[in-house]
């Protein structure tokens, strides 16, 4: 996937372009390039592990693994209890107890994932359509917006991209 991204928090804002390569069912490589060619970095998301082989500063921009998977349209959370309810064309799921997750699906598409802690909404991902994704973390007012410019199926990736 070719993407544009924007990040902002209380201290600064930055934007650029990037690439996301998916290897189902549980691997993704995210490459971010700053606008103007001033640098970049990559992150590897494998299962519930998020690593930053080239630029640890990228850690500031990205959500934790479960919410990062949600930006890519995959639900990857666990909990002892799950309550499901249907509201029109939307399936809602409350997963776990403390912390708790709330997920919403329309048809077969994940459209929202919320992380609840101490009975307060802490952070969430909204997938408003097939090309727009927004992650927000309430307390530090962090926000990452991703716009998918192009998505193409690809052949298998060389093993070197996962290092």
**All structural domains of the chain:** 2-151 (2.50.20)
Is residue 127 within 8 A of residue 73, CB to CB? The reply is yes
Q: What pLDDT does 121 receive?
A: 93
CA-based torsion, 143, 147, 152, 158: positive or negative: negative
Q: What is the mean pLDDT of the chain?
A: 90
pLDDT at 55: 64
Q: Note the pTM of the prediction, 2 decimals.
A: 0.90
Tell me the CA distances in angstroms from 43 to 63, 101, 117, 162, one per residue in order: 11, 24, 26, 9
In the predicted structure, residue 25 carries a pLDDT above the cut 90: no
| Lowest-confidence segment of 68-77, 94-103, 118-127 by average pLDDT | 94-103
Q: Residue 57: pLDDT above 80?
A: no
Q: Answer whether the bond into residue 20 is a cis peptide, omega within 30°.
A: no
Is the pLDDT score of 155 beyond 80?
no
pLDDT, position 32: 92
Reported as a pLDDT band with limits 50, 70 and 90, residue 130 is confident
Q: What is the mean pLDDT of residues 52-73?
A: 87
pLDDT computed for residue 162 by the predictor: 67
């Amino acid at each position: 996937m070719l993407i544009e991204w924007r990040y902002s928090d209380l201290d600064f804002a930055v934007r650029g372009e990037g690439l996301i390569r998916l290897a189902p069912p549980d691997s993704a490589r995210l490459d971010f390039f700053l606008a103007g060619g001033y640098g970049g970095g990559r992150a590897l998301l494998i299962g519930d592990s998020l690593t930053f082989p080239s630029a640890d500063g990228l850690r500031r921009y990205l959500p934790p693994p479960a919410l990062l998977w949600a930006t890519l349209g995959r639900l990857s959370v666990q909990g002892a209890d799950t309550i499901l309810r249907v509201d029109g064309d939307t399936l809602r799921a409350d997963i776990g107890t403390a912390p708790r997750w709330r997920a919403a699906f329309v048809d077969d598409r994940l459209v929202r994932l919320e992380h609840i802690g101490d009975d307060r909404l802490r952070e969430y991902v909204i997938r408003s359509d097939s090309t727009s994704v927004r992650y927000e973390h309430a307390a530090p007012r962090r926000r990452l917006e991703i716009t998918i410019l192009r998505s193409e199926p690809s052949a298998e990736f060389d093993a070197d991209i996962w290092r």
